Structure 1
């Protein structure tokens, strides 16, 4: 009791994004999520799956097709055949296996794809602008999309019932004629959308300890950003796959998340450590003003080098279909 008769403020939910790269071990996150859930803190897990997607494509004899946007961002082109493999790998294999891991750890986990209940939804991009041999072209037949809505009521209902949602792409792609197609979406940005919708803290787990001022020197980790200038410094320092994560961090904060931490998945108690300040913490105050300043959409749906191999290609004109 507090002595004044008032209840202490409840901690916000936590969205934990577990990377899908081979270098990211989910075991520590599984144990931490079990600890948090057992202590009554609501947790939503979002996962990527680059390694499993690539392995599935290889087994099926499908050559991955990467394209470059006009802004120089490289991403996967997801044609119909690749989309089948993507859905098999993400929703069929990886989500089921990760949900089983959580349940083995005592977590009442429920596996969901972004299509289930319209959990992650937005317009499908069937055509994207790319650069091939130095020339700008439009490629059609893509199965990717931009998340514009999150079914927060579905997640809140599960959390209120004591369940831990384990979420993965694909998302529900709106074809514009009322039809819905499962399409590729970036897992970092999916986690950002979920965190924003739930006003949650977001922990982006990866295979490095945060954002480094010198990308080659872990000793230069930027510990925190709480002002617009500090956020700008983080964005300037983020290269390669980290640029996508910092972009997702900004989107989460703009959407309503309280803070974002980019941290190492492979340390002991990675989620608890991240929430305690280990990693690069970006506060909502870093947006400045009313906290809704927009970022650069030019590389919005792009996938960079690391991490999950699960995003669509960059669309330099804001994700419009052609």
Structure 2
């Protein structure tokens, strides 16, 4: 079995438990690919430089980052640099022979650039140009399989490679959706670790986790319950399943042995039967 673990970049997420658990899984013979984001670290870096991170809302109500050229420079510095290195070092210290790479390495993640995005500002629909983001259309699964077959644990992050005219360009992409694309390409179990215990039926009740989604009716209830950032998690899980992932789980990164717990039923598990 192959497991794709996405470690969230929220401030409340401590990756130490996940890294220790991944080390245990690898030692037991599991094949693990780690994907990570880092929006909080990017925001912190931008603010330290005296700049304000910019988020926009799509007509569908999804809030996401607007990545201008300056923000893209910070992404390239923080994610494949500082954060990726820290996770690789953490896994090496746990006895895992980890290899760090971004979506541009070996053309791991490729697709079209989204130079303009549709947004809603002051109740009006507009088109914002100059966005440095893209949609992942292809994953080089052979590259990841080669590393896994060689006994390595890949630790991947954005940016991705996108076509800009006749040339390739490094652009931003959502890390949850990157993990979903990787899980789909490998036919793997997808585990999205975040700072909440799963998708909650009642946002005021942390015990109201929707634990299993395995029918269209249950999936409809899930999408109705998901709000805010969780909408993107459910969207990513859906894309992963549609792309070939065997299951998708949204679970608590700070739980004991969080990956093993998620695979054992903790959090919100979505199966292909739900779609």
Residue in 2 aligned with 1:71? 60
1:33-91 CA-to-partner distances (Å, cap 9, x unmatched) read 10111111100000010221011111222221222222232221111111001111111
The match for 1:163 among 134, 137, 152 is: 152
Say yes or no: does 1:58 pair with 2:82: no
1:166-209 CA-to-partner distances (Å, cap 9, x unmatched) read 011111111132x1111010011000000000000011111111
* 1:62 counterpart SS class: coil
The match for 1:282 among 263, 266, 270 is: 270
Name structure 2 gaps, 5 residues minimum. none
Residue in 2 aligned with 1:269? 257
User: 1 CA distance for matches of 2:151 and 2:245?
Assistant: 21
Residue in 1 aligned with 2:14? 25
Aligned-CA RMSD value = 1.1
The TM-score normalised by the length of structure 1 is: 0.83
Residue in 1 aligned with 2:214? 226
Q: Identify the structure with the greater strand proportion.
A: 2
Kept in 1, the 8 Å contact 2:63–2:228? The answer is: no
Kept in 2, the 8 Å contact 1:215–1:238? The answer is: no
Structure 1 residue 132 displacement after superposition:
2.5
Kept in 2, the 8 Å contact 1:29–1:265? The answer is: yes
Question: Structure 1 residue runs of 4+, over 6 Å off?
Answer: none
The match for 2:93 among 104, 111, 132 is: 104
Say yes or no: does 1:121 pair with 2:110: yes
Residue in 2 aligned with 1:307? none
Say yes or no: does 1:186 pair with 2:171: no
CA 1:133/1:236 → structure 2, altered by over 3 Å: closer, same or farther?
closer
Residue in 1 aligned with 2:36? 47
The TM-score normalised by the length of structure 2 is: 0.97
Residue in 2 aligned with 1:212? 200
Name structure 1 gaps, 5 residues minimum. 1-11, 288-322
The match for 1:249 among 227, 232, 237 is: 237
* 2:178 counterpart SS class: helix
Residue in 2 aligned with 1:84? 73
